[in-house]
Amino acid sequence: MQFDDARTKAEHGKQLVELGPGPAMRANWDAFSDIPNVGFVICDESLRYVKINDALARMNGLPAAAHLGKTVYDILGDAAAKVEPAFKHVFATGEALSNFELVAKLPTRTEPGRWIENYFPITDSEGRVRQVGAVVVEVPGPGEPQEVPQGLRTQVQRLELLAEFSTLLTLKLGDQELFLATSDFLRKTVQPDFAGIALYDESISEMRVYALDFEAARGVIGPDIKVPVTEEAWGPVFLNAQTMVYNRERLSAAHSFYLGQLLEAGIQSLVCLPLTTPQATLGAFNLGWTQDIEPSAEDIAFMKHFASQLANVLDRVGAYREIARLSEKLRRDKLSLESEVHSAENFAEVIGESPALKHVLAQVETVAPSDATVLILGETGTGKELIARAIHRLSSRRGGTFIKLNCAAIPTGLLESELFGHERGAFTGAIRQKVGRVELADGGTLFLDEVGDIPLELQPKLLRVLEDQEFERLGGIRTIKVDIRLLAATNRDLAKCVSNREFRSDLYYRLHVFPIRMPALRERDKDVSLLVRYFVQKFARSMHKRIESIPVEAMNALANWHWPGNVRELENFIERSVILSDGPTLGAPLAELNPPAIPHSAPLRLNVTLESIEREHILRVLRETGGVIAGVRGAAAQLGMKRTTLQSRMQKLGITRGEYQN
């Protein structure tokens, strides 16, 4: 494969720009430590060897390990006096020094040698030069031909370009800037006609393909292209971390839509390289040429080194994006939590003054300081998550994370992975390690909503977390210790589930340490008006509306409705009402609160009130239960009420024993 090695005199004499930060640059240079015939060294301010590759160690006549910690005088003897000024110059000025010629006799040699050396500074995070690196090429000695061999000059020039490229990467994190810098580097070195990057996206279990700034790439790769990992062009490179080389014959024989498109675009040679970091393989790096030529072993080695460095940069870019995403999420969560503070008691969005609600809040204040497991019971829409957040915020773990998982919203096959995480290769599609919610909640609180929907086979593993605070990831063998507090919630009757063998009794008793029952909205008559006003103002602000009054008939209708969906239903109804409101008065669609249509077989009744319907419904249930109010099969349980609440309603509605007992 022919590459353009020529660089103008001005470019060849151009100073290498400052390399920073130091640790990142040293990691980048590690990939080039095994390039033959080109020496590489890093020395500190005392001129002690910090890093040296095997090629330069061979030139010096000593193993690489024998250099580390020694000074240049220890290794080079009298020749060190000739290189010391070059090192000192770079340390003092922070400027690179190119084409420094050294002619000297080393202690391990009988004849003088000749080297061409390029020095460059390595800075710390504050821009101070802490180390100096050098690229060294041995050339014919004095009196011999002065021309540096073309192959060696090519490798030195590539390393110089790599230094410039690496500096840019420390400054640019955006995709567009990264891809443009990569395209520019490739044009100066291997000069492809096509370049693309395919990165694995775990959220879709496919690879997203990004075109670099080459005409052929723009003609083949459109916006938002996704590729299955089984695709011949990039899949095997990613899955097996192997380099694939295609010539025209192999491209023509491939059964791949994308390789066929490249062939149609004029690409006749293609190299696909894995983007591999020490932790994982991120995807594939693909380079193509319009000539049907075979790359040399040196060319492949250089492209592999560059792909490895690019993978490290992409990994850092991905980590930057993840940190930015998590930081933004934490910021939003913090603002959300701050906005939830409604009263001096710091209960988040817990609106109401009814005795039933005050009893719940008193229980929260009692249990929050402890680390006890809390089971929050109640119908859907009663605000169980708000109570869980309040417990966390009032506990000693408030500085830790609050991790929530709705067990009913995750498919059974994925729930174990979501809870406990998985190791790479644990199952089909597990391309990389995943941290579960239990591990994320370490030091904080884990809230399992709809805990009654956890399948039986997972319940022993959750029980172990509760009892021993330890678990193993799916597919893993290492025991992970955690320190979490568990809060759970359900709208199911777990005691009944235990009797039906749908829930483990030992897990139930471990969860049932401190149960809190959330009252239904129909048990909080006094709170409806407070909630209505709160939600009206909340949605009016968000919709930039001004609602100043709520009609009396609307408030009465809302107070008398039985709200089967509880606070959530009320909130959604008020949001709909605010949307429908055109002026300063709330326009509630009260027709939606009418009772269900009466069957045609029943006599038509006019002027039916909600109170009379509720009275008849309670009487019907009392007759069906034979007048039994308490107990599992009693009327209170059938109606979803507490016994005392039902008796209070019966007294209010004037229901007498003679009406439901024969």
* Beta carbons of 327 and 353 less than 8 angstroms apart: no
Distance CA 417, CA 431 (A): 13
Does 429 map to a domain?
A: yes
Q: What's the pLDDT at 146?
A: 47
* Beta carbons of 575 and 532 less than 8 angstroms apart: no
Which of 119, 138, 171 is at the close of a domain? 171
- What percent of the chain has pLDDT above 90? 24
3-class DSSP state of 613:
helix
> Phi then psi for 509, rounded to 5 degrees?
-65, -30
**HSE value, Cβ hemisphere, 13 Å, CA-based, for 394:** 22
Cα end-to-end span (Å), the chain? 101
The pair of structure tokens assigned to 452 is 């009654």
In this structure, of 126-140, 527-541, 563-577, the range with the lowest mean pLDDT score is 126-140
Does 423 map to a domain?
A: yes
Cβ contacts of 349 within 8 Å, gap of 6 or more: 340, 342, 383, 386
Mean pLDDT for 218-246 is: 76
Supply the angle between the helices 150-171 and 297-340 in degrees, to the nearest 10: 0
In this structure, of 381-395, 475-489, 625-639, the range with the lowest mean pLDDT score is 625-639
Tens digit of each residue's pLDDT (9 = 90 or more) over 327-354: 455 554 444 444 343 333 445 567 888 8
Provide the b/e sequence for 353-368 (b: ≥16 CB within 10 Å).
Answer: ebebbeebbebbeebb
Instruction: Verify that 511 and 560 share a domain, yes or no.
Output: no
DSSP codes joined into one string, 247-300: -HHHHHH---HHHHHHHHTT--EEEEEEEE-SS-EEEEEEEEESS--PPPHHHH
Instruction: Verify that 542 and 634 share a domain, yes or no.
Output: no
Mean pLDDT for 293-319 is: 79
Residue 141 — pLDDT band, cuts 50, 70, 90?
Answer: low
Residue 660 has pLDDT above 70, yes or no: yes
Distance CA 172, CA 188 (A): 19
Instruction: Verify that 555 and 631 share a domain, yes or no.
Output: no
Does 602 map to a domain?
A: no
Does 131 map to a domain?
A: yes
Does 290 map to a domain?
A: yes
* DSSP one-letter code for 380: T
Here the CATH number for the domain that contains residue 373 is 3.40.50.300
Phi-psi domain of 47 (left: phi exceeds 0; alpha: psi -120 through 50; beta: other): left
Mean pLDDT for 549-562 is: 87
Instruction: Verify that 353 and 495 share a domain, yes or no.
Output: yes
Tens digit of each residue's pLDDT (9 = 90 or more) over 383-437: 899 999 999 989 999 888 889 999 988 887 788 888 998 888 888 777 777 888 9
- Which CB contacts under 8 angstroms, 24+ apart, belong to 415-421? 415/454, 415/455, 415/458, 416/458, 416/461, 416/474, 417/474, 419/458, 419/461, 419/462, 420/461, 420/471, 420/472, 420/473, 420/474, 421/473, 421/474
Tens digit of each residue's pLDDT (9 = 90 or more) over 273-297: 999 888 888 889 888 888 888 888 8
Here the CATH number for the domain that contains residue 137 is 3.30.450.20
Distance CA 106, CA 138 (A): 13
Instruction: Verify that 500 and 357 share a domain, yes or no.
Output: yes
Name which of 488, 479, 469, 471 is nearest 417 in CA terms.
Answer: 471
* Beta carbons of 61 and 75 less than 8 angstroms apart: no
Distance CA 552, CA 475 (A): 62
Does 2 map to a domain?
A: no
The pair of structure tokens assigned to 259 is 């390789």
β-sheet bridge partners, residue 511: none
The H or E element that residue 22 is part of is helix 22-30
Tens digit of each residue's pLDDT (9 = 90 or more) over 179-215: 777 777 788 788 888 888 888 887 777 888 877 766 6
Here the CATH number for the domain that contains residue 255 is 3.30.450.40
Tens digit of each residue's pLDDT (9 = 90 or more) over 192-202: 888 888 888 87
Instruction: Verify that 84 and 142 share a domain, yes or no.
Output: yes
Note down the domain range covering 73: 9-171
Number of domains comprising the chain: 5
Widest pairwise Cα distance in the chain? 126
Mean pLDDT for 219-241 is: 74
Does 114 map to a domain?
A: yes
DSSP codes joined into one string, 484-550: -EEEEEESS-HHHHHHTTSS-HHHHHHHTTEEEEPPPGGG-TTHHHHHHHHHHHHHHHHTT----B-
Mean residue pLDDT across the chain: 79
CA distances in angstroms from 616 to 47, 563, 590, 611, listed in the order given? 96, 17, 22, 9
- CA-based Rg of the chain, rounded to a whole angstrom? 36
In a 10 Å sphere around its CB, with 0-12 CB exposed, 13-18 middle and 19+ buried, how is residue 467 labelled? exposed
CA distances in angstroms from 526 to 23, 559, 586, 612, listed in the order given? 64, 8, 20, 20
Pairing label, strands 194-201, 129-139: unpaired
